[in-house]
A and B are shown apart, each in its own frame.
Chain A
Amino acid sequence: MLRFLRTHITGIDSKNDDFEDFYHYSRLISHGFPQKISCFAIDTELSLTAFGTRDGRVIILGSESIEWEGSVESNLPIVYIYFATGLGILHILCDDPYSGTQSFHRCRIQGDSLEMKKAIHQIPLKKITCAEMLNRSDGNSALLIGTIIGNIYALWTNSLELSEYIVFEDTALKSITCLTDSKSVDKIVVDPQCSSTLYMLFNNSFIVIFDSLHDEVMQTFNLSLNATNLSLFSSKSKLLVSHVNGSYSVYNYESNSLIETKLPFGPYPCMPINKIYCTTNSNFDSELYIFSGGMPKASYGDRYTISIFSKDCEVVLDFDSRILDFIVYNENNIGSALFVLCEQEMVVIDLMDNKGWKNFRLPYLYPIHYSPVTSVHLTSSISDKVFELLKNAHLEQNRLSNTSYSIRPWPIKCGQNRINQTESKNVSLLITGHENGTVHIWRTDRVNFSPFLTYMTACEFDGFTENINNELSINDHRNTSFSESEVDDKNDEWPPFKKVGLFDPFCDDPRLTILKLSFEVSTGELIIGGRAGQAIVYELNRCENKCGPIKSINIEMTENTTLNSNSNLRNRQLPLPARRSELTYSAGFRPISNCIFQLKPASNITAIGWLSSRKFLAVGNEYGYAICDLLTEKIIMKNCLLTSTEIVELSNVDGALSRFKSMKKSIRQSFRRKKRTPADQNGRVDGTLSPLEEIRPIEREITARTEQPNLQQGELPLSLVKVARFLSTRVDNSTENPPQPDNLFIGTQGGVILIHAILNNKDLNEELCPLIKEIRLQHRAPIVHIDYLPDLHRILVFSEEQIRSFVMPLMKPSKYKFKLTSIEGSRIRKAQIVSLKSMKSKRTSEKFILVISNHGELFLFSSQNPRKYVKMPFTKPTDILGIASSTVNSEGEIFYLKSGGSELQRATIGHTINPALVSPFKEINFP
């Protein structure tokens, strides 16, 4: 016995040594649109863009796949960023909300990383009112900082020293009598031709053109109206001033004369114009005036607009989120692209596109959350065949949507020649399902995420009419094209609005929401489950195909016909009507057999499983589950896990179907949906408690798991199917049927595991999928995941509280078990068997069990001994969205949504990091 123990223990110990060898948690880059974005800047010389966020992140982007990211000291909110043109240096102005101070940081690109340095200065600065970059030809550039008392400081780029650039009292400025009382510098503009000439706006009402070299006041303009912003159009000596009342004035600073004052959306009171810019290009006869705001207050005061006016055209670009800033990108002094940064997305308009106002396809900062992400799925490496089919579909989709996008190359080009676009092997895909029924497929071997393939499942349903006449765009996410005729039609409408951007916080029909996603990596089948009980299986097609009306196969989960006819049935939600018209599917996804499965009652799909070899679909909801055959388009079996009394109870959950109540609820929900912008969610996630909440002691009731969940209070019924998985396990039920290769495993909320055999003989007398085993977990916790370790002949069952395992083929309980909640106090949310490569010898790999807990931790268990595990945090315990959205593949890659839902954070537990994520500037001296 002792010897046995000794060998046993040393056996484990030897494993101990190399456990560390297999895992290394690293948080990698994030993809998508950063939440809390606050400012951006463009360096035209190096062709770079930079973005700052209110949580202290700096992101510098060049051409596609060129990205630097860093963060400022203690993640102070970034308010402004300025490029020292051509140097690869950013000046960052941060606001410290706690101390009320402002600080300057310098961010320098060094190879593939960013070097941050805080400017330490002795001069006590008065309140900073504005800043502007002074780029000198000799490379010694400085950030000019205007203060509330009229002095201007210079923060020198190279030395990071702060010195007084213009002392108000020591210069000719003091002779200006208007500026005796208050002289806050509200805007500085540096003449691009002559860097010593400054155009300064004092007190929002007085413009001074000042030559700092000769200490000479060149011009003054006294404005009759308060100004908001100032800009220069130097080629025609024009000075543009935007005003608070929605008008703008154009001055000639050479002749000191007012050229014009315009109230573009008058005569009624208008919103202020926040920023104005003037540019020219060959597409337009006259100069273009581009300004944000200025809408008529009463009718369009709540719109977020940018107006582009010239002599021959007028357009008002209408955005769905607040505009933070816009910059015209100049190539050789020609304004070629308009970058608009909104709170929720970036839109780049092609100004050279002959007044089509087409967008550029975004290579990065794609607003993943344009319709809220409702499910995320990360596949393991897909087969070459599938990848080829997807690529074919991707090219076809791009070709079709080219009409709605600018065909010019992306204007930001830094690092373009450095990217080696070698096709990486073993591509894994990230699939996101959205509230509007759209599925996006993203390639994970990219630094920047732009949709690889987009599919709108809404086209399988009636009511998807707006795009139906434009058949080509069914695979496109949003019909952004704006044909010329439409412009003409709307010419009588004033102002001439044009909707731009993808972000759309309002959802037309929440029933389209994708809740469950699955992707078969070897065959390319995509399975979705939706909120209204719809389950659809898609296959990849190489060519276009015209299909007739969709066949909807109903699966009645409740046999009770009296209940069905009874209006008392939970009819809070009706199924979506299937499409009755024809539709041409372009190359890419198409429903198998042109049919969809509709579970009734139409409640959320909670589990989907797919057996590709037999084309069997298993689908579950809170009533039970069903197995369908896609080839014969038949329901093989269905199993309602509720008793009839429970069905009635569940049916009445929505308040005994008081119509008034449900109406009220639906209105309330739709308002909430409307109000709920990602920014709000953001605030809620890491928002501080109100003082009232802090005083009240937080306490938790200790109650055992109930056998009868209170459905009226929104508790989930025990019958809810949490897991439906086909596994090749050969479970032996030691009865008449020999073990079958495939088994269906069902796991429920109530901790019950049901195992079906999938019989091969298609004898009509016999049941095709008989139930062969039922296991009830004693602790009755909801099943989270069921998996199979073939090398150890072990079925792993993950409940919320424990890991249990069963030895094949007789399903005997095995010693491999672990009570995670009892020991760690965390509940299992996700589980996945990962196979990790050893760091020492790249050829060996071992299987581990990765568990994600409800407290944002990752647990990595040895597959031999559950007591051997490591724990590491991957996100905050309060990050509900991140934990709920986390997805892991068998290679140990992890993706989860960052708070706000607009960005996907990527991490890995293995040593190997995708080579595509390595910056081409690694170990290269740049700039």
Chain B
Amino acid sequence: MSWNKDERSADSRPSSSSPSSVNRTSVHYVQKPLQVPPFLPVKSKFDSEFRTKSHAGDLLPITNDENFRKSFESAHPYLRLLIQRKGESWEEKYGYGTETLDRKRKGLSMLIPAVNKPPRRNYNISNPEDFRQVSAIIDVDVVPETHRRVRLCKHGTDRPLGFYIRDGTAVRLTPQGAMKVAGIFISRLVEGGLAESTGLLAVNDEVLEVNGIDVQGKTLDQVTDMMVANAQNLIITTKPANQRNTLQRGAHQRISASTNQSDAGGSLGGRGGSSSSGNRYAVNKKSVLVLSLSLLLL
């Protein structure tokens, strides 16, 4: 999730570099004035939404700039975030601003079937979304745990895909034992590019498939052409160099691993560790369904 509303944020919210304006607006910021960076990548996986409490009591989804700003403004003493699966919130089911009485029923009363019909509105208020999907991990149930299938969504923007690939050698396990084979690897990520912003691709990740086609035996130029041909909807299956963020380990380990980094490194014994640990999420594997999202705030 990124926020790059430069002009608007400059108007409504002064940057921390000008102290006078900070004073004026710092009322909202208890403790430390929260500094909203112009470009803030926030990652969301597993089709979840970040929500924050609004004054009206509704849970505001952080899906647009306005709500994002609001959540920062109301962040005193700290920002409370609720993570909810997309489409499961009351507001999304029934619309925002509907009667919240039913919601408040608790305990036994929940078992009593509601007499009145579910609250419905004749008109629909859409949920404004400035956020756009830039990438997704897909086919989790199909792809081996050590691999990752990433969809990069270009959506017709002129933002470059922003990565380079190279030739290299990979080790494959065959019935004859470990064998060295030629492989294609990500050699470079361009800063600010689509590939980098997803956090799902990293340098030295091995490219195994492009849009479902195995790249084994293909030359670098051929793989390049395959990727370019699919640039509008590029799906790359990789074997990440850093195996920490893959779904390789069991669910019970995962939770502890996310909280205890050193433990994770030990239990893995894998290579790498260079990639930022900020992307890591503690999630029970069972809860992982098919989609996970990485959001971009425009």
| Chain A residues within CB distance 8 Å of chain B | 697-707, 778-779, 781, 801-802, 819, 821-827, 854-855, 877
Q: How far is the CB of A595 from chain B (nearest CB, A)?
A: 43
User: A-B pairs with the 4 shortest C-beta distances?
Assistant: A825-B222, A704-B231, A821-B229, A700-B224
Give Cα A703 to B232, complex, Å: 10
Cross-chain contact B225 with A699 (CB below 8 angstroms): no
The answer to whether B293 has its CB under 8 Å from any CB of chain A is no
Cross-chain contact B224 with A826 (CB below 8 angstroms): no
Give Cα A825 to B213, complex, Å: 10
Q: How far is the CB of A696 from chain B (nearest CB, A)?
A: 10
User: With A698-B166, A702-B231, A781-B229 in contact, is A822–B161 under 8 Å at CB?
Assistant: no
| Chain B residues within CB distance 8 Å of chain A | 154, 158, 160-167, 187-188, 195, 210-211, 213, 215, 218-232, 234
Q: Give the secondary structure class of B's interface.
A: mixed
- Of the listed residues B215, B219, B229, the one surrounded by the most CB atoms of chain A closer than 10 A to its CB is B229
Give Cα A824 to B221, complex, Å: 11
Cross-chain contact A801 with B229 (CB below 8 angstroms): yes
With CB as the reference atom, state the residue of chain A lying closest to B154.
Answer: A704
Chain B neighbourhood of A705, CB < 8 A: 228, 231
User: With A697-B187, A779-B232 in contact, is A702–B166 under 8 Å at CB?
Assistant: no
User: Looking at the complex, which one of A701, A704, A779, A855 makes contact with B221 (CB distance below 8 Å)?
Assistant: A855
- What is the total of A-B residue contacts with beta carbons within 8 Å? 85
Chain A neighbourhood of B215, CB < 8 A: 825
Chain B neighbourhood of A697, CB < 8 A: 166-167, 187
User: With A700-B165, A703-B231, A704-B161 in contact, is A822–B224 under 8 Å at CB?
Assistant: no
Give Cα A826 to B229, complex, Å: 10
Cross-chain contact A698 with B230 (CB below 8 angstroms): no
Cross-chain contact B231 with A825 (CB below 8 angstroms): no
Chain A neighbourhood of B229, CB < 8 A: 779, 781, 801-802, 819, 821-822
User: With A702-B228, A704-B228, A704-B232 in contact, is A825–B164 under 8 Å at CB?
Assistant: no
Cross-chain contact B188 with A699 (CB below 8 angstroms): yes
Give Cα A877 to B220, complex, Å: 12
User: Looking at the complex, which one of B154, B160, B167 makes contact with A698 (CB distance below 8 Å)?
Assistant: B167
User: With A700-B224, A702-B164, A702-B231 in contact, is A822–B218 under 8 Å at CB?
Assistant: no
User: Looking at the complex, which one of B160, B161, B219 makes contact with A825 (CB distance below 8 Å)?
Assistant: B219
Q: How far is the CB of B252 from chain A (nearest CB, A)?
A: 38
Q: How far is the CB of A251 from chain B (nearest CB, A)?
A: 63
Q: How far is the CB of A173 from chain B (nearest CB, A)?
A: 59
Q: Give the secondary structure class of A's interface.
A: loop
Chain A neighbourhood of B222, CB < 8 A: 824-826, 855
Chain A neighbourhood of B166, CB < 8 A: 697-700
Chain A neighbourhood of B162, CB < 8 A: 702
Q: How far is the CB of B196 from chain A (nearest CB, A)?
A: 12
With CB as the reference atom, state the residue of chain A lying closest to B210.
Answer: A822
Cross-chain contact A822 with B226 (CB below 8 angstroms): yes
Give Cα A881 to B76, complex, Å: 69
Chain B neighbourhood of A707, CB < 8 A: 158
With CB as the reference atom, state the residue of chain A lying closest to B152.
Answer: A702
User: With A779-B232, A822-B229, A823-B213 in contact, is A702–B161 under 8 Å at CB?
Assistant: yes
Cross-chain contact A699 with B226 (CB below 8 angstroms): no
Chain B neighbourhood of A781, CB < 8 A: 229
Cross-chain contact A700 with B220 (CB below 8 angstroms): yes
Give Cα A698 to B221, complex, Å: 10
User: With A705-B228, A821-B229 in contact, is A699–B187 under 8 Å at CB?
Assistant: yes
Chain A neighbourhood of B163, CB < 8 A: 701-702
Give Cα A647 to B22, complex, Å: 51
Chain B neighbourhood of A824, CB < 8 A: 222
Give Cα A506 to B1, complex, Å: 61
- Of the listed residues A699, A706, A825, A854, the one surrounded by the most CB atoms of chain B closer than 10 A to its CB is A825
Cross-chain contact A703 with B228 (CB below 8 angstroms): yes
With CB as the reference atom, state the residue of chain A lying closest to B161.
Answer: A702
Chain A neighbourhood of B210, CB < 8 A: 822
Q: How far is the CB of B206 from chain A (nearest CB, A)?
A: 14
Chain B neighbourhood of A825, CB < 8 A: 213, 215, 218-219, 221-223, 225-226
With CB as the reference atom, state the residue of chain A lying closest to B211.
Answer: A822
Known: A702-B195, A877-B221. 11 other contacts (CB 8 A): A700-B165, A700-B166, A700-B220, A702-B162, A702-B234, A704-B160, A705-B231, A819-B229, A822-B211, A823-B226, A825-B221
Q: How far is the CB of A905 from chain B (nearest CB, A)?
A: 23
User: With A703-B228, A822-B211 in contact, is A855–B219 under 8 Å at CB?
Assistant: yes
Give Cα A824 to B226, complex, Å: 7
Cross-chain contact B225 with A826 (CB below 8 angstroms): yes
Give Cα A822 to B210, complex, Å: 8
- Of the listed residues B164, B218, B225, B230, the one surrounded by the most CB atoms of chain A closer than 10 A to its CB is B225
Cross-chain contact B154 with A821 (CB below 8 angstroms): no
With CB as the reference atom, state the residue of chain B lying closest to A827.
Answer: B225
Give Cα A520 to B160, complex, Å: 46
With CB as the reference atom, state the residue of chain B lying closest to A802.
Answer: B229
Give Cα A698 to B185, complex, Å: 11
Q: How far is the CB of B48 from chain A (nearest CB, A)?
A: 29
